[in-house]
């Protein structure tokens, strides 16, 4: 048997160290999280995208009593960007979670969101930089492939 190790590299900064643009992206994600519809879990998630054309697009989680019908914040933002700007690549995505109106520690996208993000990265033809935002720290990954190294793709179809 051969053991193979997959490592994930990322940067970690304090919120105060963010560039003005990254801080704005995080703040837009926080605002989106505040607008989330989460009456069941009370777990509010916001996502903010920076597109290569300079536009920002946001999304928030939208819950439903029939839980499979819920939409994650990342998917809401990515879908909106795909509808509004179908030929524009996504440069960055910031993701924030809140409980009781307070930003939580870092959150990481669920498996479904990772797969949707990977498809958008492929669609845009360039890596999407990911900011996993917490109350005091932000982890920055250079590509969705960092979150999903053994991904499912069109080669498997």
Enzyme catalytic residues: 74
Do the Cβ atoms of 75 and 113 come closer than 8 Å? yes
Distance CA(25)–CA(33), nearest Å, equals: 12
Packed helices 111-124 and 73-84: angle between N→C axes, nearest 10 degrees = 20
Distance CA(36)–CA(62), nearest Å, equals: 6
Among the listed residues 135, 127, 128, 133, the one whose alpha carbon sits nearest the alpha carbon of residue 101: 135
Q: β-strands 129-133, 90-99: how paired?
A: parallel
Distance CA(41)–CA(49), nearest Å, equals: 24
């Amino acid at each position: 048997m051969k053991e193979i190790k997959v490592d994930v590299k990322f940067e970690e900064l304090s919120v105060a160290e963010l560039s003005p643009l990254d801080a704005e992206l995080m703040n837009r994600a926080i605002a989106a999280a505040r607008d989330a519809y989460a009456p069941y879990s009370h777990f509010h998630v916001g996502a903010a995208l920076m597109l290569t054309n300079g536009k920002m697009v946001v999304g928030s989680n939208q819950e439903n009593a029939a839980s499979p019908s819920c939409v994650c914040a990342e998917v809401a933002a990515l879908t909106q960007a795909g509808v509004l700007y179908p030929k524009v690549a996504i440069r960055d995505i910031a993701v924030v979670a809140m409980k009781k109106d307070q930003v939580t520690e870092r959150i990481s996208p669920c498996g479904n969101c990772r797969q949707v993000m990977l498809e958008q990265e492929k669609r845009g033809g360039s890596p999407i930089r990911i900011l996993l935002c917490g109350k005091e720290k932000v982890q920055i990954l250079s590509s969705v492939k960092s979150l999903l190294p053994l991904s499912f793709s069109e080669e498997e179809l």
